[in-house]
Amino acid sequence: MENALPLKGLRIVDFTHVASGPVATKLLADFGAEVIKIESRKRPDLIRGVGPFRFNRPGLNSGGMYNSWNTSKLSLTLELSNPKGLALVRKLISLSDVVIDNFSARVMKKWRLAYEDLVQIKPDIIALNLPSHGIIGPHKDYVSFGAELMGLSGITYITGFPEGLPTGPDVNYPDYIICYLSAFAILAALRYRKKTGKGQHIELSQFETTTSVIGSFIMDFILNQRLPVRRGNSSPVAAPHGIYRCRGEDRWCAITVSSEAQWKALCSAMGKPEMAQVPRFRTFLARLKNATSLDSIIEQWTMERSAEEVMEALQKKGIPAGVVQNGQDLLQDLHLKERGHYVELSHPEEGRMLYQNPTIILSRTPGRVRRAPLLGEYSDYILKEILGLTDKEREDLKKEGIYN
Picking from 24-28, 104-108, 285-289, which range would have the lowest pLDDT averaged per residue? Answer: 104-108
User: Which position among 45, 97, 175, 295 bears the catalytic label?
Assistant: 175
Paired sense of beta strands 241-245 and 74-77, if any: unpaired
Burial 40-72 (b: 16+ CB within 10 A, else e): beeebbebbeeeebbeeeeebbbbbbbbbbbbb
Instruction: Check if 175 is active-site.
Output: yes
Q: How far apart are alpha carbons 21 and 23 in whole angstroms?
A: 6
State yes or no: pLDDT of 272 exceeds 90: yes
C-alpha to C-alpha distance for 120 and 35, rounded to whole angstroms? 22
Quote the CA–CA distance of 67 and 73 in Å, as a whole number.
Answer: 10
Q: Please state which CATH number belongs to domain 2-204+338-399.
A: 3.40.50.10540
The closest alpha carbon to 32, from 288, 369, 316, belongs to 369
Write out pLDDT tens, residues 25-80: 999 999 999 999 999 999 999 999 888 887 778 888 988 999 999 999 999 999 99
pLDDT in tens, 300-309: 999 999 999 9
Of 157-171, 195-209, 233-247, 268-282, minimum mean pLDDT range: 157-171
DSSP secondary structure code for residue 386 in this structure: I
Report the percent of the chain where pLDDT is more than 70: 99
Q: Which of these, 323, 325, 327, 300, lies nearest to 313 by C-alpha position?
A: 323
- Alpha-carbon gap, residue 19 to 25, rounded angstroms: 10
Q: Above 70 in pLDDT, residue 1?
A: no
218 sits in which H/E element: helix 215-224
CATH 3.30.1540.10 fits 241-245+251-325, yes or no: yes
Q: Look at phi and psi of residue 321 and say left if phi exceeds 0, alpha if psi is from -120 to 50, else beta.
A: beta
Question: Which of 324, 323, 327, 303 has its CA nearest to residue 314?
Answer: 323
The domain limits of the chain are: 2-204+338-399, 241-245+251-325
Instruction: Report which of 403, 351, 345 is spatially closest to residue 376, judged by C-alpha positions.
Output: 403
Cβ contact 182:20 at 8 Å: yes
At 58 the pLDDT is 84
Q: From 49, 136, 76, select the one nearest 374 (Cα to Cα).
A: 76
pLDDT of residue 3: 66
Report the pLDDT value the prediction gives residue 146, as an integer from 0 to 100: 86
244 pLDDT band, cuts 50/70/90, is very high
